Structure 1
Amino acid sequence: MTDDFADRKSRASAWFRELRDEIVAAFEALEMSQDTGPFAEDDAGKFDVTETSRASDDGSDAGGGLMSVMRGGRVFEKVGVNISTVYGTLGEAAQKAMAARGVPGIEVDPRFWASGISLVAHMQNPHTPAVHMNTRMFWTPNAWWFGGGADLNPCIEYAEDTEQFHAALKAHCDPHGDDVYDRYKAWAEEYFYIPHRHRARGVGGIFYDDLNSGDWEADFAFTQDVGRAFLPAYLPVTERRRDMPWTEADRETQLVHRGLYAEYNLVYDRGTKFGLATGHDANAVLMSLPPLAKWP
């Protein structure tokens, strides 16, 4: 399986980089186009790009990626768009977790390779929703799969924004099967739920994991379409809300909602757990956390 997948790994990793470049360019253009609000002419946000690395137990090359973060912009208070390609040997705890998920042979041959893109945006205007998107490919000597999704996280909800976001996701899911959007929408509602708060962290989206239909090309094509759906789903929502006036009460609502987001990512998120457990750069793994948050 290793030799058969060398080209496929390369293609997947290259796609995540291509998607990252497209989103970073779109977000920087959005920043430059913002000409209302209490902003100086020269304070449009730009991404700071840092190379990241994964620590291996024996000091050997274990991969890494790019962490791209914009802070204190006109539209974005904090946004990160990260890509990584990491590999090596899973530790005992990660092996057990993978075995529990049904990954065959992982405790016999615990080598792995994983590549993906992860994005989280926290906005200046409380009326503009936060958002998350990621897609990834995972490989072991005896298995492979894709996963990912996107979800909208408004602190002040607007029905038309939710409808716009979901409609774009559905349009990109529908070519892959009539039931795909409904199945992955339901999975998102289950996954992006905070049990100890008895509520969802946002208004949902789609989520999928362990996707292996047996047809790698078809599953990769679907994963690419999930990535392509993001900008059409999110940019119109942002452009609709970014100039709305807001109050200190709105800001308070935003900060408390961000507390929910932080709780979810630290306690339940699979990507956070995997990244920290496998030794990836902690700053990159925790990039998703908001710059400011409050708890009631």
Structure 2
Amino acid sequence: MTEELVTERERAAAWFKDLRDQIVAAFEGLEDSYTGPHSDRPAGRFEVTPTSRTADDGSDAGGGLMSVMRGGRVFEKVGVNISTVYGTLGERAQMAMAARKGIPGMKEDPRFWASGISLVAHMQNPHAPAVHMNTRMFWTPHAWWFGGGSDLNPCIEYAEDTQHFHETQKAHLDPHGADWYPKLKEWADEYFYVPHRKRARGVGGIFMDDQCSGDWEADFTLTQDIGRAFLPAYVPLVEKRRDTEWTDADKDTQLIHRGLYAEYNLVYDRGTKFGLETGHDANAVLMSLPPMAKWV
């Protein structure tokens, strides 16, 4: 393994940690600045728990931090997880990776390294949108690539909120080329579609996977800008909607929409499947599930 490769992996892992720290601080700031009907509650704070992954032979295989806030003034449940894991892929994961990504040689040398940040926020106020974001780097001896994006999941939709979310992401992608935003928007529309419900999970966003142009620096910068777009795209929406009055019917709408979100994450989401198949901490992998949901 070359020194350059180790340095690249260290840089990526450090960036995901830095982005996590920025988001945690911003979300706790939203809790502190809230002055609405539930401001008599203590401001929510993240509970941080180390996570670990153990290889089949019992050796250390990496880990990370699971940061979860529950029962806050603004956030009903939000998780911001980071991890850096490594080892060898099991047979099922090898087959899936080789089939989906067309990587030769996985059976002969199934080593991997993966690092990233994953975030899901479920809100107290039904008018404040839920959201998902992740960015990641994956490496095997045969290839490396980046992936990630963010998508907005309101249960009560506001056209101006959707516009702001998308325009902010577009502004961060445009410096990389005018074709990036429409490409990643279309990819998100396809990826976050729930086939058995014949509808989208939310109002979309941006998403990419398998990004390996051959220029690591360019791909890393693109991934960083996907991450940098998140807070300015999302925080103003929370600030706008967190004080809106809601009814029991609004809350019911929120719980039903959360059911759709849970269905998608358990049935289709690749990150959920990969995390469970490679033996990562199940609580961290399933952090994305809402605290309460409803089906009709």
Which TM-score band applies after superposition, normalised by the shorter structure?
over 0.9
CA–CA separation in structure 2 for the residues paired with 1:76 and 1:232: 18
Q: In structure 2, what is the equivalent of residue 256 of structure 1?
A: 256
- Off by >4 Å, runs of 4+ in structure 1: none
Please provide the CA RMSD for this pair. 0.8
Which blocks of at least 5 consecutive residues in structure 1 are unaligned?
none
Give the % identical residues. Answer: 76
SS at match of 2:78: strand
CA–CA separation in structure 2 for the residues paired with 1:171 and 1:262: 30
Q: In structure 1, what is the equivalent of residue 157 of structure 2?
A: 157
Which blocks of at least 5 consecutive residues in structure 2 are unaligned?
none
Q: Say whether 1:23 aligns with 2:47.
A: no
State the 1:27 CA deviation: 0.3
Q: In structure 2, what is the equivalent of residue 81 of structure 1?
A: 80
Moved more, 103-112 or 92-101: 103-112
State the 1:39 CA deviation: 3.6
TM-score by length of 1: 0.98
Q: In structure 2, what is the equivalent of residue 37 of structure 1?
A: 37
Cα-to-partner distance string for 1:154-190 (whole Å, 9 max, x where unaligned): 0000000000000010001111111000001000000
Q: In structure 2, what is the equivalent of residue 196 of structure 1?
A: 196
Q: In structure 2, what is the equivalent of residue 49 of structure 1?
A: 48
Cα-to-partner distance string for 1:111-136 (whole Å, 9 max, x where unaligned): 00000000000000000000000000
CA–CA separation in structure 2 for the residues paired with 1:191 and 1:291: 24
- Quick check: 1:2–1:141 contact (8 Å CA) kept in 2? no
CA–CA separation in structure 2 for the residues paired with 1:25 and 1:38: 20
Cα-to-partner distance string for 1:238-257 (whole Å, 9 max, x where unaligned): 11111100000000000000
CA–CA separation in structure 2 for the residues paired with 1:69 and 1:188: 25
The 5-angstrom pairing of residues 8-19 of structure 1 reads 8-19=8-19
CA–CA separation in structure 2 for the residues paired with 1:106 and 1:240: 48
Moved more, 100-109 or 200-209: 100-109
TM-score by length of 2: 0.98
State the 1:231 CA deviation: 0.2
Q: In structure 2, what is the equivalent of residue 144 of structure 1?
A: 144
Cα-to-partner distance string for 1:189-226 (whole Å, 9 max, x where unaligned): 00000000000010000010000000000000000000
CA–CA separation in structure 1 for the residues paired with 2:29 and 2:235: 11
> How many residues are paired up?
295
State the 1:68 CA deviation: 0.2
Q: Say whether 1:125 aligns with 2:103.
A: no
SS at match of 1:28: helix
CA–CA separation in structure 1 for the residues paired with 2:245 and 2:236: 18
State the 1:4 CA deviation: 3.5
SS at match of 2:144: strand
State the 1:2 CA deviation: 4.9
Q: In structure 1, what is the equivalent of residue 6 of structure 2?
A: 6
